[in-house]
Amino acid sequence: MNNTTANANVGRQVQLPLRKAFEISLKSIRIRFWRSMITAGGIMLGIAFLASVLSTALVQAQMPDAAMDAKALQAAQNRQTWLVIMSLLVCTVGITNSMLMSVTERYKEIGTMKCLGALDSFVVELFILESGLLGVIASFIGWFIGAGMILLLAMSSHGAAIVAKIGFLPILGTLGISMVVGVGLTMIATIAPAIRAAKMPPAMALRAEI
Amino acid sequence: MSANEYVVRTKDVAKEFIMGDQVLRALDGVQLDIRRGEYISIMGPSGSGKSTLFNMVGGLDKPTEGSVFINDVDMAQLDAHELAYLRCRTIGYIFQTFNLIPVMTALENCTLPMIFAGTPTEEANEKGIALLKMVGLGERLFHKPTELSGGQQQRVAIARSFANDPAIILADEPTGNLDLKTGKEIITLLKRLNKERGVTIISATHDLKMVDVSDRVVWIRDGKIERIEERADLDLKVGQMEGEE
């Protein structure tokens, strides 16, 4: 019997609609609420720090600080760049660790899903959606705390006018940067372990002891 | 069609695992034909290659040499989409550790394979409820796995394995994590479904209670088939074993 006739009675598994994957991911987060919140907490702190540094820069730009010469300004900016890079590094390590753990502890679940007919791409999709959702929520809260704190402080020492002076758009800009960085980092940290788990033969995923 | 008499055929199946710099030959030239509608038990001590053979037959792992045919289709020829299709519709899996998805209710666990198969939600729910009733869990539809006993979890897993009306049910030590009485109930349930639905049941086990209901028993030792016993030979043996208990 040749292959074409042999395969005639085996169809091809269809890709599930995104809505289904979204439903399952949301459920996963809801059930593991506290665990998810701790993961989200790490992302949130990193993004809060980033947002506070960005907002501080905005506030400082509005200061009529004649005393500060160009050289000192340059030094302050360098220090800030350094701080942002450090905060992002810490954030990335934390997020990668959390997502790696959340994937490895679910190898068995992944193996089971594959036995039930899930495609590799569906498994990856599931984890990326889950981490993306966490990333969106955590980044927003992080931004709210970080930027909010700095702006409140600025308002208390320089009056509410300072916020009006900075303007709505630059503040929105810090939100944009925080979201892109937070969600981006979370998803990147998930992709590698999720692909690794999805590609395993189900027998190996089921056997995996964590 | 004579070719259709066998639902699973393995041809010189061998599997090697690489452990450091050693090569471990877990299966060595296994030739096994499984008839449609048969209740077959694969028995053997741990480390005999029993689970490895089981994984090959179920398309959960690929053999190093030889081929496995399911419904005359060579598993090695299938791509990822076709393999997923086969696992979804042709084979139902039952595990020693139940392997229910912990975040889902009994009903959701049961409908998951149907959702993977693209069944509309309403239809899947209806069928899921019917399947859970079939295994005697009509009252436990919305319980999470952690709220169910081991025996109940295994019943959900059995209901789930029947979701897409598979031709084959693969049960890996289905009674391994259950007490004697619950184990017996699960075996009786499997046998009943085997008879009622004409589904082929392949089970890897070292539970001697399984011998009782099997049409054939395949004994594996050191990666090879030691002997295959038919129903007629078995009746005598079971009598002896029960005497020993």
* DSSP conformation letters of B2-68: GGGGEEEEEEEEEEEEEETTEEEEEEEEEEEEEETT-EEEEE--TTSSHHHHHHHHTTSS--SEEEE
Which is nearest to B103 in space by CA: A34, A131, A27, A38? A27
Q: Which pLDDT score is estimated for B4?
A: 67
Q: What is the dihedral of CA B87, B92, B96, B102, to 10 degrees?
A: 80
Whether residue A135 has pLDDT greater than 60: yes
**Within a domain: A8:** no
pLDDT tier at A130, thresholds 50, 70, 90: confident
Q: What is the mean pLDDT of residues A181-185?
A: 88
H, E, C per residue of A103-145: HHCCHHHHHHHHHCCCCHHHHHHHHHHHHHHHHHHHHHHHHHH
Cβ A200 vs Cβ A115: under 8 Å: no
A101: containing domain:
21-207
- Give tens-digit pLDDT for A45-62: 888 988 888 888 888 887
Whether residue A143 has pLDDT greater than 50: yes
The answer to whether the Cβ–Cβ distance between B103 and A1 falls below 8 Å is no
**Within a domain: A5:** no
Whether residue A210 has pLDDT greater than 60: no
pLDDT tier at A11, thresholds 50, 70, 90: confident
**Within a domain: A88:** yes
The answer to whether the Cβ–Cβ distance between A119 and B160 falls below 8 Å is no
| ipTM field | 0.82
List of E strands, chain B? 6-19, 22-35, 39-43, 65-70, 73-74, 91-94, 168-172, 200-205, 216-221, 224-230
pLDDT tier at A147, thresholds 50, 70, 90: very high
Q: Which pLDDT score is estimated for A2?
A: 42
The answer to whether the Cβ–Cβ distance between A6 and B72 falls below 8 Å is yes
How far apart CA B52 and CA B62 sit, in angstroms, is 10
Span between the terminal Cα atoms of chain A, in Å? 43
Whether residue B241 has pLDDT greater than 60: no
Q: Which residue in A has a C-alpha nearest to residue B69's C-alpha? A: A6
pLDDT tier at B240, thresholds 50, 70, 90: low
Q: Which pLDDT score is estimated for B2?
A: 47
pLDDT tier at A68, thresholds 50, 70, 90: low
**Within a domain: A92:** yes
CA distance A117 to chain B (A): 4
- Give tens-digit pLDDT for B200-237: 999 988 888 888 889 999 999 999 999 898 877 766 66
How far apart CA A7 and CA A204 sit, in angstroms, is 26
Q: Which pLDDT score is estimated for B148?
A: 94
Q: What is the mean pLDDT of residues A122-134?
A: 88
**Within a domain: A3:** no
Whether residue A203 has pLDDT greater than 90: no
- Which residue among A10, A13, A203 sits closest to B60, beta carbon to beta carbon? A203
**Within a domain: A7:** no
Query: What total of structural domains would you count in chain A?
Result: 1
Whether residue B3 has pLDDT greater than 60: no
Q: Which pLDDT score is estimated for B239?
A: 54
**Within a domain: A6:** no
Work out the percent of chain B whose per-residue pLDDT is above 70: 93
**Within a domain: A139:** yes
The answer to whether the Cβ–Cβ distance between A108 and B55 falls below 8 Å is no
Least confident among B58-62, B83-87, B234-238: B234-238
Q: Which pLDDT score is estimated for B237?
A: 61
Enumerate the residues of chain A whose CB falls inside 8 A of the CB of residue B97.
Answer: 108
pLDDT tier at A4, thresholds 50, 70, 90: very low
